[in-house]
Structure 1
Amino acid sequence: MLKTTIAGSLPKPRWLAEPERLWAPWKVPEPELAQAKLDATILAVKLQEDAGLDIVGDGEQARVHFVHGFLANLDGIDFDKKTVMGIRNDRYKAEVPTVVGEIRRKGPVHAREAQAARAHTTRPLKFTLPGPMTIVDTIADEHYGRREDLAHAFARVLNEEARELEALGVDVVQFDEPAWNVYMPQVAEWGMAALEEAKRGLTCTTAVHICYGYGIKANVDWKGTLGDQWRHYEETFPVIARSSIDQVSLEARNSRVPIELIRLLEGKDVLVGAIDVASNQVETPQEVAATIREALRYVAPEKLFPCTNCGMAPMNGDIAYAKLAALAKGAALVRAELAG
């Protein structure tokens, strides 16, 4: 019980990409880049093991960005036709590629790093993919017209990828949907249906990650406008509770999310964010334990998985892995309390 894990991304080694920034360009040229990505993936797995995590991930080491890393091996997308558009309801601007035709996979996207991670750990392995709604919110569209139609097109290729990842030995496939904390009514209207299509036929554990974003200035500033209570989950959790998704990853540490909202996820595994990714202050094990104890008021121990609030890609590597060590130690403290 209280098995620890990460939300998704981890900092890349300084020799692979520019540190402490999103969309960081690669430092390693082709043809050496492909092997460098795999080396970084294996290193991330081993560092998670060293930190004491129970369920490890690839750390998204082979992707420039969690969304665009998946888009890179799809037909129907013109990466030369760039558009500057507002992301997450215009919270910040990004230069994005454009959908110009039918979305299809050219072939496996993340198979190589999944195989590398699987070959170098005996621990349960989680692999993350961007969710359909979040992809739609991170790309320009000149072909499908309706956001829900584009979402279902991406859901179909995500399902192909997820099935292959499961066949390679991935234990948990997680779909990242930060857009679900922005477009809440659309989650019920078409977002959940697209996610169900993306996970169709999977027999491994499935998860959805919904957070308030990376610890970058645009997200921190946005949080400052949300008031004393962040109740976005109140609208989406009942929709998820009725779904076939097994796990929900959410933000809790240093947030203004009323922790009692997780009662709305009855029957689901809860990946509670006990590590703040918007602060360089490393949590103490006792602080992690306090967050876990608070969540245990509403979730049974066997259904609770201590986690990070969000991805850690823009963070300093030493700080990020120190936070993961604190996560593991804090969970161990509470396990000991429950056992005693």
Structure 2
Amino acid sequence: MQRIKTAIVGASGYTGQELLRLLLVHPNVDLVAATSRQEAGKPLSAVFPRFRKLPGADLAFIEPDPDAIAATGAQAAFLALPHGVAAEIASALLQRGLKVIDLSADFRLRDAAVYQEFYDHPHPAPALLDQAVYGLPEIRAEEIKAASLIASPGCYPTSILLPLIPLVKAGLLDPDTIVANSMSGVSGAGRKADISLLFCECNESARAYGLPKHRHLSEIEQELSLAAGGKVIITFIPHLIPVNSGIATTTTAKIRAGVSLEAIGQALEAAYADAPFVRLLGAGICADTKNVTRTNFIDIGWHLDARTGRVILTSAEDNLGKGAGSQAVQSFNLIFGLGETAGLQTA
């Protein structure tokens, strides 16, 4: 059985922990490096006791040094780092011959000027933007297979793009009327000390944030514009809700004249008939986060509001899974010619 030596850079955050959970038991992975400045020198099992007695859990965290990572023989590296930090490590590891799957925002945008607009600083490695492939496996599988640098999508964009892209491509919607409302668990903010994320601040509370121009709008609009063949601008309203993980998104848009509910369903079914991690719930059914947490599935349902002439799309995913770690592993599987579902078939 093929075994790929693999590293996780930034393995002590929530997404890093999800990658550890998946890769320690992946049948085709030898985890040879996990980095964390804060935890360097400690075994994985000491920092995350849940991994005790799993094969590889005695591996010690190391500093995020590209030479040290390459010296382990790693063939691939997952980067679970903040934007602006990931690009430097990505550049160094690519130069050392590794395949890089970046879970930050550093390579998701094709235009460095758009990156600066949304992230408030110049792009740290603009020369690599043309090389990066936006890692949405259901849309770009063939490009991912040939890539050395994957820009894994954001959690919110995944929940919005997968329901919308087939409908926008087919010309079934008026893209100028798209409004997406999303609700995310608190883990989406990352594992950091922040008063606004304390239990007493989040529990029994729900609030919108990042208005009116959340950073994920940049990649959502980029990908919808590519699907539409012209500029698309949408309204996106994210909310924080008092759960650990999960994203529920409801997206609405005006349908074109003559478009039926059956046509909506047919477009989605044609797009995802062979997609192992897209579960189409059907017309009249709403997606529910309890059915997708700790998995790589995204569930999608749809309704037609005849009164307003709008389609209502509902989707649910795990923000740490299909919205981050497990989707990145799905791309890894494609890059190395493994079965797309390898290490990801969990219920």
Q: TM-score band (shorter)?
A: 0.3 to 0.5
Q: Per chain length, whose mean CA-contact separation is higher, i.e. which structure has more relative contact order (CA < 8 Å, sep 6+)?
A: 1
Q: Which has more helix, going by share of residues?
A: 1
Q: TM-score, normalised by structure 1?
A: 0.34
Largest Rg, 1 or 2: 2
Q: TM-score, normalised by structure 2?
A: 0.34
